[in-house]
Structure 1
């Protein structure tokens, strides 16, 4: 077991109607609020009006239209500008992980006098940040319980992960009811995203029985409950369990003491969605089984055996490579069963920029140091295998 230093300062308020506690929570941070949100779904489900009603005694400024794969320009830059001009005390992010990722970059940028991109790329370390409160409406990224986010810079085809302990939300409100209206496409993509967060921690050199069991249970829960959510979008129990599985995804709790994997699928998918602006979870679902197949060898096979036996119930008496191949095939078939497009061509990606993207990943993601090392040629092969 590896050494670790772990702290999660985020308060989780989980369950039906917990938003009623919002005024009491917000008053400790100040009166001037930046309300950040996406394309308007929170208005369709009545959450926007509810928030405004609950916070009627506060001074609220708004940053709408934050996109999936949130953009540095305009969203981060616009948010930073508002925070500085209006002397914002606290940011309230209402929406999915993209809204919260963007909000984290804004929170740090609002307290920095230079170009916020300096912080996102670790050129400069943030010294302070505005407090963040969030109300999550999509089970997927786990951004509500971690200190990181991912920001896209369109002009350079960069999609950059950014993490800083200052950016943990101080409070996250999690009401599964607000996920009832999530489309089947986004429900499935959220499941794929969360499953891949677990894969990125599970497939590593050094792990524990405790962590393996936690992650294996979470994978089974996600697969079972996602199908229930797709069959009945208002199944509260299924939505609630799916949401909590996703919440644990990226704050390290699944894998305390494990060695690092390098997060190779995220490293590769960031290029796909930076170049083509595809749905992150779908991109992960497409490349993950191909990555699994590509790295299967004598070093990695035992992890795939454990995964196959404990998650899918594959007969452990078989040849170890047969078990591994069945586990990979079962992963592919699960994603296919929830109607995720399983080829890059299905989401508008062709052969034309494969080599360019592979080079970008190889130069920026450090995957030659991953648990299963990937060079530029490996990345290109995985992309091509995914077409």
Structure 2
């Protein structure tokens, strides 16, 4: 196990009806002038936004609104939010929605305390300050409610990039599984793929002797395999929704990633799919992750075989561990397909003719690489896209 530091200060409020206490928590964490940041659909139709407003009013808090967040959140709305915050002396941002709303809120929070272009943070500039962010989660997927990460798409060139900072960790997150019960089955499935991908990005590592976090990763994956089909079959299954929601947070606040090298190549490669085709991030991961697994499994065939046995229930072929590894990958792919997700370019609506475009947008050039489990070049990424296109 490697040396590590871990600090996860987010205050989690979990359970039924807890969104009605949002104003209390904003006030508790020092907010006085709030920007409500959200999408444009169910948050409004369900009455959630109105309940949150009443909660803020009850605490005597003033607020502004900025809706319109889209999946794969855009830079244009971030710029608009930054201007609103600076002009109105906003000191707290409350994101209502899924990972897109939360990621956008984080970008606004950092940009509001910065004199330059917020996009600098998504290229190479460290974040040194940000407004406080709280969240009310409506989609279990990205884990942004507990993480220090944010992903934004720059509309000029449709470039999708991520940034990480401890300043990006929300000060509080309200998690009510009831708020996810109205999600379409496809969104639930996309969220599940994202959660499982966050675990696998950490699980496939070159670091040795990380049994504790191996077992934590496996527990989350087994939970998803058990609970996701239940939630899709019965959207009102509160207990299944609750387990999935907490799994999504645990999968990405990095408790399962400490002390080990992490990969993240699959996320990097997928980002170009969702930037070009504007597909759901989880759907893109469902296409890319099994392809990545097939391409890199010989880096540590025993680790892949271990996942196949412990997570997917395969029998270990000690003479031919590559057979066990391949069987696990196939079971993963079949699971994704069984919950209604695409597993190749055709099902996603992508076109193999665009692979050169995707590789170029990845921005690795001649000598750059992505990932750590195997450091992938542009040529490697091209091969993974081609496997995904089969």
Q: Into which bin does the TM-score normalised by the smaller protein fall?
A: over 0.9
SS at match of 2:156: helix
Is the 1:104–1:132 Cα contact (8 Å) retained in structure 2? yes
Matches within 5 A, 1:5-44: 5-28=5-28, 29-44=30-45
For structure 1, list consecutive stretches of 5 or more residues without a partner in the other structure.
Answer: none
Correspondence for 2:295: 294
SS at match of 1:62: strand
Counterpart-to-counterpart distance in 1, 2:308 and 2:90 = 50
Q: TM-score, length-normalised on structure 2?
A: 0.95
CA RMSD of aligned residues (A): 1.5
Matches within 5 A, 1:154-233: 154-207=155-208, 208-233=210-235
Q: Deviations over 1:81-103 (max 9, x none)?
A: 11011111211100000000000
Correspondence for 2:348: 347
Q: TM-score, length-normalised on structure 1?
A: 0.96
Matches within 5 A, 1:94-113: 94-113=96-115
SS at match of 1:363: coil
Q: Deviations over 1:162-197 (max 9, x none)?
A: 111111100000010101011101000000001000
Is the 2:136–2:173 Cα contact (8 Å) retained in structure 1? yes
- Go from structure 1 to structure 2 and tell me whether the alpha carbon gap of 1:366 and 1:179 turns closer, same or farther (over 3 Å shift): farther
Q: Deviations over 1:34-93 (max 9, x none)?
A: 0000122112222111111111232111110100000001x1001001101111121110
Counterpart-to-counterpart distance in 1, 2:49 and 2:290 = 39
SS at match of 1:143: coil
Is the 2:20–2:52 Cα contact (8 Å) retained in structure 1? no
Q: Deviations over 1:262-292 (max 9, x none)?
A: x111010011111221110000001111111
Matches within 5 A, 1:87-126: 87-123=89-125, 125-126=126-127
Is the 2:195–2:251 Cα contact (8 Å) retained in structure 1? yes
Correspondence for 1:267: 268
1:363 deviates by 1.2
Counterpart-to-counterpart distance in 2, 1:269 and 1:165 = 24
Is the 2:265–2:370 Cα contact (8 Å) retained in structure 1? no
- Pick the aligned partner of 1:247 from 241, 249, 262: 249
Is the 2:2–2:259 Cα contact (8 Å) retained in structure 1? yes
Is the 1:32–1:58 Cα contact (8 Å) retained in structure 2? yes
Correspondence for 2:376: 374
Counterpart-to-counterpart distance in 2, 1:5 and 1:187 = 33
2:73 pairs with 1:70: yes
Count of aligned residue pairs for this structure pair: 383
Correspondence for 2:282: 281
Is the 1:100–1:144 Cα contact (8 Å) retained in structure 2? yes
- Go from structure 1 to structure 2 and tell me whether the alpha carbon gap of 1:171 and 1:366 turns closer, same or farther (over 3 Å shift): farther
SS at match of 2:252: coil
Is the 1:154–1:274 Cα contact (8 Å) retained in structure 2? no
1:126 deviates by 2.9
2:296 pairs with 1:256: no
1:16 deviates by 1.2
Is the 1:188–1:338 Cα contact (8 Å) retained in structure 2? yes
1:368 deviates by 4.9
- Go from structure 1 to structure 2 and tell me whether the alpha carbon gap of 1:367 and 1:220 turns closer, same or farther (over 3 Å shift): farther
Correspondence for 1:330: 331
2:314 pairs with 1:311: no
1:362 deviates by 5.2
2:73 pairs with 1:58: no
Please identify runs of 4+ aligned residues in structure 1 that moved more than 6 A.
none
